[in-house]
Amino acid sequence: MSEQVNTEKKKMLLSGIQPTGVFTLGNYIGAIRNWGQMQEDYDCAYFIADLHSLTVRQEASELKKRIKEAYALLLACGIDPEKSIVFIQSHVPTHAELGWILQCYTQFGELSRMTQFKDKSAQHPENVNAGLFAYPALMAADILLYQPDFVPVGVDQKQHIELTRTIVNRINGIYGDVFKMPEPYIGKSGAKIMSLQSPDKKMSKSDENPNGYVTILDEPNVIMNKFKRAVTDSETEVVFREGKDGINNLMTIYSVLTNKSLEEVQKEFEGKGYGDFKKAVGECVVDALTPIRENYARLIKDNAYLEECYKKGAEQATRISYRTLAKVKKKVGLLPPA
Ligand code: TYM
């Protein structure tokens, strides 16, 4: 953060995303869209969580490409390196270092209870590695290095932030005031966008069925087709109600992207069929994603600009995070270098 920003006493926020494929509409609505909007009112740091993606086996040359693409995607979504610190996690060595220290203050039992660990170890039984298990301690380090007030995420990351808060209580309890307590910031609507094919499951880029998710680079005709095929129910009414997971999900997407309340959406589609509604949802998604796809096409060709941005981001992030790391090392009793 610049000195100027600090004197304005803006609150700080931080969040990250893994570079494991093109971001989905779920990532966009649940997280990145909010990140962009919050840049005006907060001091923000956003990063590509590439170290986290190593917990699942990756093809090296493919990962390298995806990290750069993910960085370009963040910028394409309106994350502005002039306003926010935008960096790549592995370029900032303090993350892995504090991650180790925090592992030593995180209990085996706590990590065993994490649903993401349980899900991912079930998905990849051949590679249940120590990194996958310790992942939330690294995530706590990502957060605490920047002493943020808020961490804007989708619902699925809430448990990790709660564990981060437990770690803060533990460390502050032993050593005094080391970390500021971060709060999760979860949007009122859209914090869990569901699969278009199995609306009881979260929309995810690792879904085997590509019709279940929309990526933020999907072409308009692909988007329209995916919404046309979206699973609904055997009724006909566009109304938000328990048991109507598919319609609830589509109404949420439409409501967030058009800034209309669920009641307004319901009124708008009174007497109209699901076909008309799905078409309208598809169209509003196309409208939201078209400028992003255009920005991305331009940015991904400008390697020099991307490098300049992530170099600057890493320098800014290193400077801030180093201060916290030095404080932690001192508090826990490590001898400073001569
Ligand atoms: P990741 O990469 O899985 O997801 C990035 C963000 O997108 C949100 N999200 C969703 N929101 C609504 N509906 C969905 N279907 C949906 N799918 C994903 C996620 O909640 C998240 O906010 N562990 C993190 C990355 C991370 C991080 C951090 C985040 C590493 N260190 C520190 C915050 C702070 C992850 O895997 O997110």
Residue 6 pLDDT greater than 80, yes or no: no
What share of the chain in percent tops pLDDT 90?
94
0.85 exceeded by pTM: yes
Residue pair 193/26 in contact by the 8 Å Cβ criterion: yes
* Cα-based angle 43, 44, 45 (whole degrees, multiple of 5): 140
Q: Which helix (H) or strand (E) holds 129?
A: none
- For ligand 1, say whether the CB of 187 is within 6 Å of any of its atoms: no
Helices (H), 18-91: 25-27, 33-38, 50-53, 60-76
Cα–Cα distance measured from residue 274 to residue 278, given in angstroms and rounded to the nearest whole number: 6
Cα–Cα distance measured from residue 99 to residue 84, given in angstroms and rounded to the nearest whole number: 23
- For ligand 1, say whether the CB of 151 is within 6 Å of any of its atoms: yes
Average pLDDT over every residue of 147-172: 97
- For ligand 1, say whether the CB of 44 is within 6 Å of any of its atoms: no
- For ligand 1, say whether the CB of 136 is within 6 Å of any of its atoms: no
pLDDT in tens, 252-276: 999 999 999 999 999 999 999 999 9
Spacing of C-alpha 217 from chain mean position: 17
- Helices 303-332 and 94-103 pack at an angle, to 10 degrees, of 40
pLDDT at 9: 83
> What does the chain come to in residues?
338
Ligand 1: nearest atom to the Cα of 20: 2
Distance 27 CA to ligand 1 centre (A): 7
Indicate the DSSP class of residue 238.
Answer: -
- For ligand 1, say whether the CB of 91 is within 6 Å of any of its atoms: no
pLDDT at 277: 97
pLDDT at 1: 46
* Range with the poorest average pLDDT among 110-114, 197-201, 203-207, 317-321: 203-207
Domains of the chain plus CATH, in order, are 12-191+303-332 (3.40.50.620), 210-298 (1.10.240.10)
Residue 215 phi/psi, 5-degree rounding, is -95, 160
Residue pair 11/1 in contact by the 8 Å Cβ criterion: no
* Cα-based angle 156, 158, 160 (whole degrees, multiple of 5): 100
Ligand 1: nearest atom to the Cα of 18: 2
Average pLDDT over every residue of 321-338: 96
Helices (H), 182-244: 220-228
Ligand 1: nearest atom to the Cα of 153: 22
Retrieve residue 44's tokens: 């923000």
Q: Which helix (H) or strand (E) holds 88?
A: strand 85-88
- For ligand 1, say whether the CB of 17 is within 6 Å of any of its atoms: yes
pLDDT in tens, 43-70: 999 999 999 999 999 999 999 999 999 9
Residue 73 pLDDT greater than 50, yes or no: yes
Distance 204 CA to ligand 1 centre (A): 10
> Which amino acids are annotated catalytic?
120, 202, 205
Residue with tokens 């509604």: 277
- Going by pLDDT thresholds of 50, 70 and 90, the confidence category of residue 8 is low
Average pLDDT, the chain: 96
Distance 206 CA to ligand 1 centre (A): 13
Q: Which of 147, 156, 202 should be mutated for ligand 1, with most atoms under 8 A from CB?
A: 156
Cα–Cα distance measured from residue 338 to residue 332, given in angstroms and rounded to the nearest whole number: 18
pLDDT at 7: 57
Cα–Cα distance measured from residue 220 to residue 303, given in angstroms and rounded to the nearest whole number: 26
pLDDT in tens, 192-239: 999 999 999 999 988 889 999 999 999 999 999 999 999 999 999 999
